[in-house]
Amino acid sequence: MRAMNKLKRPVDLTARLATLAFVLILTICADAPVIAEPLQAATADRVGFPRDYRASLKLLSVSVKDDEPSVMTAYGNEQATSITASSQLPYPYGTVIAMEFAHGVRDGEKQIVHDASGTARKGDVARIDVMRRERGYGEVYGDNRAGEWEFASYRPDGTTLVSPEKGGTCAACHRKAGPERDFVYRLRVPAK
């Protein structure tokens, strides 16, 4: 009897370990939806802040207006720069165009200071407006839909000012640019 008991022990241990592993797996599986939810919420931004956009995107254009933030700089990814004539529109899926609104650096007469190459000098960035085109995008905007674009706006640190779901006001105005421009106000071609 004693010998048999001794023999049974390793089997018991294996069985116990197996049960423990099974329970562990069950616990992990049961927890999975709870873990996934906040992750989904965090990745719900389908436009996305293009981090390091000054380096990672191509410079498309710079324009200066009178009121602050006065210096508007447009940047685009490769898909955006692939379009160099309106005959090539619409923009390919995956296109990202960012519009940075920066305060101009002004002299004593309140005139914007330009560097040697004639470019307006930029100070603090107020916000970065971003539009992204993907298949089926824009449906959330209903009657305000501007093609397959979704719109969002970010602070320079990447935090959200206007989330894509709230981008309906952006879409409503870009809708006025019209389908012949693919709802982009100005054809943005890479700056020389």
Does 83 sit near ligand HEC (CB under 6 A)? Answer: no
Residue 150 CB neighbour total at 10 angstroms: 27
Does 57 sit near ligand HEC (CB under 6 A)? Answer: no
Q: One-letter amino acid identity for 21?
A: A
User: How many positions of this chain bind ligand HEC (CB under 6 A)?
Assistant: 21
Does 71 sit near ligand HEC (CB under 6 A)? Answer: no
115-132: burial string, b at 16+ Cβ within 10 Å, e else = eeeeebebbebbbbbbbb
Which of 51, 14, 39 minimizes the C-alpha distance to 155? 51
Burial class (CB in 10 A: 0-12, 13-18, 19+), 176: exposed
Which of 89, 171, 90 minimizes the C-alpha distance to 130? 171
Return the structure tokens found at 53.
Answer: 């956009």
Element (H, E) at 139: none
Does 178 sit near ligand HEC (CB under 6 A)? Answer: no
Does 128 sit near ligand HEC (CB under 6 A)? Answer: no
Among 102, 120, 125, 131, binds ligand HEC (CB under 6 A): 131
Among 53, 137, 141, 151, binds ligand HEC (CB under 6 A): 151
Does 70 sit near ligand HEC (CB under 6 A)? Answer: no
Does 148 sit near ligand HEC (CB under 6 A)? Answer: no
CB of 93 to ligand HEC, least distance (A): 16
Among 100, 104, 120, 129, binds ligand HEC (CB under 6 A): 129
CB of 38 to ligand HEC, least distance (A): 25
Query: Binding residues for ligand HEC, per CB under 6 A?
Result: 63, 74, 97-99, 129-131, 151-153, 162, 167, 169-170, 173-174, 184-186, 188
